[in-house]
Amino acid sequence: MMSSNAVAAIRRLFEQSLRENCISGPNDECLISDSSGMAPFAERDQHQVVVLNISSYAFRIVALFEFNEDAETSAHLARISHREVRSLQRQDLLDAYSEFVNLICGKVNRDLGKVIFHSGLSTPFFLESTCAQYLSVLKPSNTHILDAVVNHKVHFRLTVCICAADDISIDFQVDQTAHEETTTGEMEMF
């Protein structure tokens, strides 16, 4: 079972990672809000979401990322991934989504690794948004939804499902005062 301290710590790690990785430069502004009262992906037609898992022996975090599919989002992802293209198309856009999700979850996994040993990160994969209605099958102990808006134009939504083993107690807090040097482009092997 995951304590409320641990759930709050995971939430803070995702918020911090979103703030750090959603921006493409020093002039960008990223606002994060809680949308947990909303149903995931309810307001739009079927589309793809990017999914990534952070897992250990005692828990699994399933992160589902939803992106607006507009020119501004595409151009912003191009800037984040340091690509020359102003607006990404098809496979380049899917690759940029995957790289972005990997940056967010990779930072969370590294920070979790300071307090929990043996956690691993999956490869990002795509699912249809209708799969979100089956998240309850995972029996999450906690689910929260975060909205990130960059420069009042670019919107990302993140649904985080935390699933923990019933027979193991997980309790930790994360030091928010320590700032670790940021690295990008690293590939994590496990």
Do residues 113 and 10 make contact, with C-beta atoms less than 8 angstroms apart?
no
Q: Model-level pTM?
A: 0.84
Our measurement of the distance from residue 187's CA atom to the centroid of its chain's CA atoms, rounded to an integer in Å, reads: 17
Residue 185 Ramachandran class (φ > 0 left, ψ -120 to 50 alpha, else beta): left
pLDDT at 45: 64
CATH code assigned to 4-164: 3.40.1550.10
Q: For residues 60 and 54, what is the distance between their CA atoms, to the nearest angstrom?
A: 6
- Distance set, CA 63 to CA 40, 95, 144, 153, 186 (Å): 12, 17, 10, 23, 20
Residues 50-93: pLDDT tens digits? 999 999 988 999 999 998 878 888 888 888 887 766 656 778 88
Residues 96-154: pLDDT tens digits? 889 999 999 999 999 998 888 788 999 999 998 888 888 889 889 899 999 999 999 99
Confidence of residue 177 (pLDDT cuts 50, 70, 90): low
Domain extent listing, the chain: 4-164
Per-residue pLDDT for 188 more than 70? no
Helices (H), 4-163: 4-21, 71-80, 90-112
